Structure formats: C-alpha cells, structure tokens
Chain A
Amino acid sequence: MNLHEYQSKQIFARYGIPVPRGRIAVNSDEAKQIAEELGGRVVVKSQVLVGGRGKAGGIRLAKSADEAQELATRILGMEIKGLPVRRVLVDEAVSIEKEIYLGITNDRASRKPVMIASAEGGVDIEEVAARTPDRIIRLHIDPLLGLREYQARDVAVAIDLPKDYWRQFMTVADGLWRVFVENDATLVEINPLVITKEKRLIALDGKMVIDDNALFRRPDIAEKRDLDVEAPEEISARKYGLSYIKLDGQIGCMVNGAGLAMATMDIIKLYGGQPANFLDIGGGAGAEKVAAAFRIILSDQNVCAVLINIFGGITRGDEVARGILAAIAEVKPKVPMIVRLVGTNAEEGRRLLADANMITAETLAEAAEKSVAAARERCNQ
C-alpha cells in the first residue's frame, strides 16, 4: 500500500525528520489561506499516487498567496495519469543549496533491509543507478541490531557530506530507519533531502510503501488507503479475502492459488485467448466466497466466458460447486462457463454441477482450449 507525500511527511516529522512547514488543501481558498500563513512563497503539490507529478505540471512554485490560489485551482482540476487530483499540499518554499537521495528498502537477495544514498538527489534514482552506479551507496542493516550510529556516519562520509552536516544527517537516517521498522514499510524514501541556504537538512519530498501483510497491526495506516488507485472490483474483492486484479481480456478466471491462477492466465494466452483477470480465491474457500468471486468476475462487461480451475487441497471441490450454483442462481450469467475440478472432493463437486449446463474439462490444456473457443463464439470474435 502506497502513502501520499503529505502522509509520509507527517510520519517523518513525528520521527524527528525535518520537513517544510505546510498543510493539505482540498480547494483553492484553503490553499490561499495556507500560503498567506506561510508568507506567500509556497510550492503547490498535487497529491496523487503516481510518479512524474512534476513533469505533468502537478508541482508549481507560487510567489504570492494569490498565485497559490490560482495554481491550486488549476492543479485541483487536473488528472495525472488517469488519477484525479483531490488534494494539494501547500509547503513553504525552501532555498536549495544541494539535493541528496536517502531511502531504505528490502533487499530480497540478502534478506536484509538496505539503506540507499546518493549525493545526486532530486532526480530519478534508478536513472542515477543505471548511468553512474558508483554514485549510489548501499548499506545493509542487520534486522536484529538495527541501524548503528557508525553506519549512518559511514553513509554521510560516503556521499561526501561536509562534516558540519553529519549530526543532522544521523538524526534523519536514524529517524528514517525507525519510520521503516515501526510502520512496517517495504520502502521509505526522501528524494530530495535538501541542504538549504540556511545550512539545514530538510526532507522536501517523501514516499512510503507499507507491507500489506502488516496492516493488521498498523490500523492507523490501513485507514489512509487511497481508494482512487484501485478498481472498485479490487476493493470489493479485498473485503471477501479474495485477490483480484482486473486485466483487459475476455476470459474471466477463477482459480485457487496464486501460482496456479497465473499459470491458468498463461495457458489461456498460449491457446490464443486473453485473460480478463487474475483471481485467487485462496485456500479453504467456502461457498459464500466463491459466490462473491463470481459476481466480481461477471461485473466486468468484457467477459465472454469464465474458466473455473480448482485444484482441491484445503479447498474442497464440493464447496466450490455449491458456491458456483448459488452464484448462478443469483447472477444468472449469460456467458458460457468452463469448469475443471481436480483433487479433494472433486467428484462430488462435478456431480453437483452436472445439471448446471456448464462445459467441463479434464486437463488444464483442454479447459483453456474450450474457454477460448467458447469466448470466441459468444463474442463473435
């Protein structure tokens, strides 16, 4: 789950990381008022969860409160990469001497958090990494010991930070480490961390990605979720404990297990079709969950056929069959349905579905082939 810049910076501030003075505005009058409070010179920043806000004109400098109001009006009317701008952050303008990059993320390969720093901040860090890899400093952090003081100093030295800034930098680095751990982040990033003309370090921007698996113990963060970035079906799927991602194809998929769900999408493509979605009903899915999954798949108007591929393990074939029957009774789908049940209680499941007018398949390949044919026939492709 991604946090907005203003949310990230609010959290940073709580951990002693200096951020510019500023507040969030939902209309241009508020933006003007905040700008007046901050003395007129402000930056108006769109708050949407995509990259490239600046390039899209979503971050602008205002020299007066009136100009801030004007810019806020314009930015609040924008859509950036398909997402509506609903809020702007109005921050005091800061005089920048130098821009640094500082972030922490998980290094899967070494199974440890890694602090990443560069003297070249304010630009796309992946570009820096590709162009001048020696300008990127990586420091692995022992997950049991945490970030040690000397390590933060090592990083400061490695990015050629003048001695006068070490103490400030170590406060920021230590704060960022605690932000990372105490909020179960998978990424925290300050880009840029600036040195101002007044010789202060300030986090001008902020980004946080939170581990979805940890939201159960971070309720205050879970409620910050921005529903704009998700399709309504994805939100509804999460409510039922389903994992659903909408795609552009015509063949709806209902599968148990993430790996098998991906393999099912792949084989549909192999046989000349296009999957309409990824959907994992999870282990041990009962009838109610299956019915919900069915409704979500069929809410997609592009769907010309539905392929149900269940390999019973924890999930029982008869339970799934009952869910399908319940959903059919309720939704009355007009598209053809292809079902393949294998494993635990599969025979019982097949017996239950025998009268439901569904196309059955024995193998995965057969199921894919029949789905592609049925979808073509249904939608006259």
Chain B
Amino acid sequence: MSILINKETKLIVQGITGNEGLFHTAQMLNYGTDVVAGVTPGKGGDWVLDGKVPVFDTVKQGVEVTGANTSVIFVPARFAPDAIFEAADAGISLVFCITEGIPVQDMMRVREYLDQKGVRMVGPNCPGALTPGETKVGIIPGNIAIPGTVGVVSRSGTLTYEVLYALKQHNMGASTCVGIGGDPVNGTNFIDVLGMFEADPRTNSVVLIGEIGGSDEERAAEFIARYMTKRVVSFIAGQTAPAGKRMGHAGAIIEGGSGTAADKIKALTNAGVQVARHPEEIPVLIGE
C-alpha cells in the first residue's frame, strides 16, 4: 500500500515538450511510472521519447484517449494556474504542480476553485511524490530511496532528498514520500498527508519536514496529538534564519512573532514528536 500514487496511477504530463518536462518524463518512465500522455498546445499529434508518449493539444483530449487520472505540471509560472484549471475541468482528480514562482493570488483563486470541484492538488513549488519501487510523479530522484514503511512528508525539495538518502544509508525505506511545497498557499497541507499515512497499512512511522513561516507545523502538531497513533519524528529548517527575510520560499517568512522554528519545534515536542537536530539524525530517531 501507499498513499496518493501507486501502480494504478496513469499520468498525463502538462508541459511535456519543455526542457524540464521532457527530462523528468524520461526519468519517470525509467522508474516505471505509467506516463500515458503529454500535453503541449500546438504540438498535438507528436510523439516524444522515441515514440513512447503521445502528445495532445489539450488535457481533455489526452484524458479521453488515454484514461489518465493524475496530472503533473511543468509549465512556467505565468501559465501554470491555467494549466491547473484545465486539468480540473478535464476530469483529473489529482494534480501535482511542480512549477515554482506562481503569484499567491492566483493560487488562492485556484485553490478555491479546486475545493469546489473536489480536486486535490499537491504543490505548487514542490518536488512531487515517490512511492519507491512502484511509481514516481515529479522530480524526486528515484535512486535515493528504497521501499519501506516510513512515510515522509515535507515542505522542502532537496531537504527531502537529504532525508530519503539518510534513511537509505540506514537501510530504511519509504512507503510514500510527498513534497507539499514551500508556498504560502498550496493544495495539500501536512494534516491532509498525516491523515493518509495514519490510514495506510504499510506506513509504520512518519517523518515530517517543516520550515519557518506560516502555522502548518503547529496545526500538524495539534492533529498528531489528537489523531495519530503512529510514531512521528520531525526536522524543522530555519533555526538560524533572521526574522522578516524571505529565505527563497515565499512561504518561509516569519510573520509577526509566529512562524519561527523555535515555536514549531516547541509545538511538535509538546505533541510527543521527536525533533531531530539535523536531517541525518532522523533515521537514528526512527530506529530507537
């Protein structure tokens, strides 16, 4: 078992003929992901990657012909909100948006619309998800993780890789790893994913990787204290970050006293979560 993505995932790649879209589609195919279609307006009828994936002009056509049920978006920030609306209107129920740099007001409108339609989005500004040994959607390198029982959920990209890699060094594998992205308004938050891991029979323990800004970690701590029976360990990045400065992620701003690493660590510790001092300590805490 796993969460969000598995062998049944039939993926459509929006922005498949761009540099990143093409590169990561090849990586996903290599990993075993069932990439059934790609979309680039104006390039419908083409085939990419040695004829492995058909390209359509619209998501609607791609879904009708191939039965795709999940989308991943690689299009540039100025076109990404429209790509998400298009996926939702074409009947896709799960959208991963890798694109970074989308204006926050666009994301508020997108999120409101998706909620009304009952469509789940992961991201934006996220690395996607990986169910080791089965499938991956997005850009997480497949070779840094092995199948196992640890669920990983993170607001960061490369920091997530660091944790997966550290787990692998200790012979620990992941059930599913989900990057929810670092933006202030996103589609899926910690609580959503924690609930899925709690319900997933294969997941025995969960790693939560947070960072400064917002209050998602604090709300996760409340959820863990009330509903989680599985063990949760955590790492929070940004303990040395000065207040008010934007550290790369639009979401990583400390706003008026709340959102500091210290507050988040305190909330998690109070909820019974063990918080690692650095990423490489996580496997040790899980192994205890």
Q: A216 at interface (Cβ–Cβ under 8 A)?
A: yes
CB proximity of A220 to chain B, nearest CB, Å: 16
Q: A270 at interface (Cβ–Cβ under 8 A)?
A: yes
Q: B91 at interface (Cβ–Cβ under 8 A)?
A: no
Interface string of A108-146 (1 = CB under 8 A from B): 110111000000000000100000000000000011100
Q: Is the interface of B mostly helix, strand, loop or mixed?
A: loop
Q: Is the interface of A mostly helix, strand, loop or mixed?
A: mixed
Asked whether A144 and B109 contact (CB < 8 A) given A108-B215, A259-B182, A263-B235, the answer is yes
- Interface stretch among A95-103, A189-197, A307-315? A307-315
Contact partner, B78, options A106, A216, A342, Cβ 8 Å: A216
Q: B108 at interface (Cβ–Cβ under 8 A)?
A: yes
- Interface stretch among A27-35, A160-168, A276-284? A276-284
A365 and B281 alpha carbons, distance in the complex (Å): 9
Interface string of B226-246 (1 = CB under 8 A from A): 000000000101111110011
A181 and B111 alpha carbons, distance in the complex (Å): 16
Q: B122 at interface (Cβ–Cβ under 8 A)?
A: no
A278 and B239 alpha carbons, distance in the complex (Å): 12
Q: B20 at interface (Cβ–Cβ under 8 A)?
A: yes
A106 and B253 alpha carbons, distance in the complex (Å): 13
CB pair A363 B241 closer than 8 Å: no
Q: A260 at interface (Cβ–Cβ under 8 A)?
A: yes
CB pair A214 B184 closer than 8 Å: no
A257 and B156 alpha carbons, distance in the complex (Å): 8
Q: B172 at interface (Cβ–Cβ under 8 A)?
A: no
Residues of B within 8 A of A126 (CB): 256
Q: How many residues of B contact A (CB 8 A)?
A: 60
Q: A186 at interface (Cβ–Cβ under 8 A)?
A: yes
- Give the tally of cross-chain contacts (CB within 8 A): 168
Q: B162 at interface (Cβ–Cβ under 8 A)?
A: yes
CB pair B111 A265 closer than 8 Å: no
Q: B278 at interface (Cβ–Cβ under 8 A)?
A: yes
Q: How many residues of A contact B (CB 8 A)?
A: 53
Contact partner, A262, options B101, B240, B277, Cβ 8 Å: B240
CB pair A259 B156 closer than 8 Å: yes
In the complex, chain B residues 92-124 whose Cβ is within 8 Å of any chain A Cβ: 101-105, 107-109, 111-113
Residues of A within 8 A of B66 (CB): none
Most B CB atoms within 10 A — which of A312, A314, A365? A314
Contact partner, B278, options A112, A255, A263, Cβ 8 Å: A263
Contact partner, B237, options A109, A113, A181, A266, Cβ 8 Å: A266
CB pair A343 B108 closer than 8 Å: no
Q: A236 at interface (Cβ–Cβ under 8 A)?
A: no
Q: B155 at interface (Cβ–Cβ under 8 A)?
A: yes
CB pair A343 B248 closer than 8 Å: no
A residues contacting B by CB (< 8 A) are 106, 108-109, 111-113, 126, 142-144, 181, 184, 186, 211-214, 216-217, 243, 245, 247, 255-263, 265-270, 275, 278, 280, 283-284, 311-314, 342-344, 363-365, 368
A-B contact pairs, 14 of them (CB 8 A): A106-B108, A108-B215, A126-B256, A143-B108, A258-B157, A258-B249, A259-B158, A260-B237, A262-B237, A262-B252, A263-B237, A313-B141, A365-B278, A365-B280
